[in-house]
Amino acid sequence: RRVPAPSFFRRPLRPKILSKNMPQLSSISCVVPCLNEEANLNVLLPSLFAVLESLGCPFEIIVVDDGSTDGTPLAMARWAQQHPQLVYLQLSRNFGKEAALSAGLDASRGQVVVCMDADLQHPPSLIPTMLERWRQGVEMVYAVRATRSDESVFKRLGTKLFYQMMRTSGGLKVPENAGDFRLMDRVVVDALALLPERNRFMKGLFAWVGFRSEPLYYSPPERLHGTSRFKPLKLFRFAIDGITAFTTWPLRLLSVSGATLSILSFIYGLYIVVNHILYGDPVQGWTTLITVVLFFAGVNLLSIGVLGEYVARIFGEVKSRPVYLSRKRLGLGLDADPAAQ
Ligand code: UDP
Ligand code: MG
């Protein structure tokens, strides 16, 4: 019969092997931007707490309130009081999801940060799978919708067109159908914090910072309560924001089409003059004239409009106002756990 070894020889073997090959998770933050999501948060938070507790490391959940007018502030104050790991960050008004996400990332302190929506379209049960990838050395794991079959044909076409337009010649490729549900290593979060722009089109910024990124395919469930905050018109503005922030092809398109039209008009003008001199063809056609004048007036205004979009972006950046302002912060986050010190 073998005598058991003294207890200090019996060190746990598994964690040691793990730590040799894979990084050990020291802490995790979860950032949830929300706008009037009281009903959804009451369902999301219990399951998120359950998942994070099962990881066995210090964690924090940062709920960023992007100017909610429902019962969210009251409900979150209660949550933060009962669970000090929950941080409730209230912005001074609605700054938009991109700003709320930035606020959450700035406040996060975990070694790994997960961003997710409050409407349960981003299932917390995927977090362990994302962590698995992170342990294998992936610095950013982004969830990609496996299918968009739940959406209207119109929206799908628009999305397709958007990703096509976002494809810049510089080689920056925004992954298609990837939302803001993603897990990031601290290096990625720190890199994002370094980017000085005010117009924070996060999908583009995530792609711009680079790092080892990998998709994780999933089928998003339906929104639990309420309707999407991104109505078609807002989605369109959002797409324009992205295109103007990351590409310059609309400007180049203007120069190219301007040049092409000038050359064509010159050739046509020459044709009319020659026709008149050689054949004495009287110049006529009020209809043609007015059509051409109106067409070029339209092209001119469109060009000024496109130019204006870029000027407006520059105006926004030059003012250098903060991306968001916060009113208050409740909860301790990682400080709630003595192991995190
Ligand atoms: N959201 C936000 N500020 C806004 C709009 C939305 O913080 O101005 C939050 C919203 O509460 C949700 C997430 O962003 O948690 C995604 O919004 P939504 O589900 O409406 O967008 P979709 O899933 O349709 O893209
Ligand atoms: Mg949603």
Question: DSSP letters along 242-302, please?
Answer: HHHHH--HHHHHHHHHHHHHHHHHHHHHHHHHHHHHHH------HHHHHHHHHHHHHHHHH
267: left (phi over 0), alpha (psi -120 to 50) or beta: alpha
CA distance 190 to 28: 15
Block residue for tokens 């949830």? 32
What does the pLDDT read at residue 152? Answer: 84
| Phi, psi of 32, rounded to the nearest 5 degrees | -125, 100
Q: Which residues contact 252 (CB under 8 A, 6 or more apart)?
A: none
Q: Are 221 and 148 in contact (CB under 8 A)?
A: no
- Tell me the mean pLDDT in the region 108-131: 93
pLDDT at 25 over 90: no
User: Where do runs of H (alpha helix) occur along the chain?
Assistant: 13-21, 38-54, 72-82, 97-107, 127-135, 153-166, 186-194, 202-209, 232-246, 249-279, 286-319
- Tell me the mean pLDDT in the region 178-191: 93
Quote the ligand 2 centre to 33 CA distance (angstroms).
Answer: 11
Q: Is the CB of 37 under 6 A from ligand 1?
A: yes
Neighbours of 243 (CB within 10 A): 19
- Collapsed DSSP state (helix, strand, coil) of residue 200: coil
Binned at pLDDT 50, 70 and 90, residue 176 comes out as confident
> What number does the ligand 1 atom closest to the CA of 121 have?
23
Which strands, in side-by-side order, build the sheet including 140-145? Answer: 213-218, 140-145, 178-185, 112-115, 28-34, 59-65, 86-91, 326-330
- Tell me the mean pLDDT in the region 137-162: 87
On the 0-12 / 13-18 / 19+ scale of CB atoms within 10 A, 99 is buried
Q: Are 38 and 71 in contact (CB under 8 A)?
A: yes
- Dihedral sign (CA 91, 92, 94, 95): negative
What does the pLDDT read at residue 19? Answer: 46
Q: CA-based diameter of the chain, in Å?
A: 121
CA distance 332 to 340: 12
Q: Is the CB of 229 under 6 A from ligand 1?
A: yes
pLDDT, one tens digit per residue, over 225-276 is 888 888 888 889 999 999 998 888 899 899 899 889 888 988 988 888 888 8
pLDDT at 207 over 80: yes
Q: Is the CB of 121 under 6 A from ligand 1?
A: yes
Quote the ligand 1 centre to 96 CA distance (angstroms).
Answer: 8
Quote the ligand 2 centre to 236 CA distance (angstroms).
Answer: 16
* DSSP summary character for residue 94: -
What does the pLDDT read at residue 265? Answer: 86
Binned at pLDDT 50, 70 and 90, residue 14 comes out as very low
Q: Is the CB of 100 under 6 A from ligand 1?
A: yes
What does the pLDDT read at residue 18? Answer: 46
What does the pLDDT read at residue 23? Answer: 72
38-54 vs 127-135: helix axis angle to the nearest 10? 40
Q: Is the CB of 72 under 6 A from ligand 1?
A: no
Q: Is the CB of 228 under 6 A from ligand 1?
A: yes
pLDDT at 62 over 70: yes
Dihedral angle, C-alpha 294, 158, 228, 315, nearest 10 °: -50
Q: Are 59 and 28 in contact (CB under 8 A)?
A: yes
Quote the ligand 1 centre to 35 CA distance (angstroms).
Answer: 7
Neighbours of 273 (CB within 10 A): 11
Q: Is the CB of 33 under 6 A from ligand 1?
A: yes
- Looking at the chain, the whole-number percentage of residues with pLDDT higher than 90 is 48
Quote the ligand 2 centre to 229 CA distance (angstroms).
Answer: 8
Query: Higher model confidence: residue 276 or residue 114?
Result: 114
Block residue for tokens 């709920």? 63
Q: Of 11-20, 130-139, 152-161, where does the model show the most confidence? A: 130-139
DSSP per-residue codes, 323-335: S--EEEEES-GGG
Closest residue by Cα to residue 83 from 67, 60, 51: 60
Which residue, judged by its Cα, is nearest atom 2 of ligand 1?
97
What does the pLDDT read at residue 123? Answer: 93
The alpha carbon of residue 327 and the mean position of all alpha carbons in its chain are separated, in whole angstroms, by 23
Quote the ligand 1 centre to 146 CA distance (angstroms).
Answer: 20
What does the pLDDT read at residue 146? Answer: 85
> What number does the ligand 1 atom closest to the CA of 36 have?
11
- Looking at the chain, the whole-number percentage of residues with pLDDT higher than 70 is 91
Block residue for tokens 């990998």? 214
> What number does the ligand 1 atom closest to the CA of 37 have?
11
